Amino acid sequence: MKTDSLLLNYFKGMAMGAADVVPGVSGGTIAFITGILDPLLDGIRKINWSLVGIIKQKGIKAAFLHINGPFLVCVFGGILTSIFTLAKLISWLLVTHPIPVWSFFFGLILFSVVHMLKQVNKFNAIRIAMFIVGVAFAWAITVLHPIEMQVSYLNFFFCGAIAICAMILPGISGSFILLLLGMYPAVLAAAKGFDIVYLACFAIGAVVGLLSFSHVLSALLRKFHDMTLLFLTGLMLGTLGKIWPWKQVISWRENSKGELVPLVEQNLSPFQFEQITGESSQMIIAIVCLLVGIGLVWGLERVGNKANS
């Protein structure tokens, strides 16, 4: 594989990692748009016990090439780079500039829905029903109240296994799943503080979940391509309410650190937001950020198309 191709895959991995840090945005969506989801799943799926036989017969290098190792290293290297370098920045931006940030991601997801619908070969009643089920399922998840799991090594392991499945699944955000489990602040704090033990537990859980779920998702995309895509697209559309930029906090909860964090939020129009909160809706900035998000997906789409041509 050429160096420029490896570098491009690294940047695609960084885009996935940046998306994974934000609740409501899926790294799997970025992988799908940029055309690397299939080779990513294929490479992960090949990491099984048969590798032992390949190593014995042909050596470690042959086994590494068998799983498309250079590609996987670049993608996951990019993901980890983003998670460790952008965690602090995105946390700060979500607190200090929430409306522009959520507007950007709203535009990103909105155009991602358009992109995925274009990949469907044929529409029929059953496939449209799957799309509706996806929307309803995602909406139901977004209205659930977050629970408060205890911060422990075992919970970090289970959260890693669950969240990684969402991280490679277009439409569902791993960060959002962590948010529902009440573990998002703890995982983000571990990443920012580089807590080796907690991160190791999370990573082991992620590896277990990734090696298991990649087989399921890969099989679904092979055997039920259009139905799976429409269900995943429905998931993406259903989560748009979660990342709507203008919100009013209805009730608060106290987290494990004694800090007050939003429990129930209500979506508002920009005009209602100004009337109720007395704050600026930042409409112009929000529109610009939304268009930047749309433009980014459009650009990634073109990059993916060139890579596949």
> pLDDT (tens digit, 9 = 90+) per residue, 26-65?
788 788 777 788 888 888 888 888 888 888 888 888 888 8
Please write down the HEC assignment for all residues of 22-37.
CCCCCHHHHHHHCCCH
CB 173 within 8 A of CB 139: no
The per-type count for the chain, helices as H runs and strands as E runs, is: 15, 2
User: Which structure tokens are listed for 254?
Assistant: 């106290």
The closest alpha carbon to 75, from 111, 42, 108, belongs to: 42
pLDDT at res. 204: 92
Average pLDDT score over the chain:
82
Say how far apart CA 175 and CA 100 lie, in whole Å.
19
Which residues does 255 contact at the CB level (< 8 Å), separation at least 6? 148, 182, 185, 261
Predicted TM-score (pTM) of this structure: 0.75
pLDDT in tens, 91-146: 788 778 889 988 988 888 888 888 888 888 888 999 999 999 989 988 887 776 66
- What would the two tokens of residue 232 be? 């995943």
Q: Where are the beta strands (DSSP E) in 154-259?
A: 247-254
- Contact at 8 Å (CB) between 30 and 12? yes
Name the token pair of 37. 């989801």
Residue 40: what are its φ and ψ, rounded to 5°? -65, -50
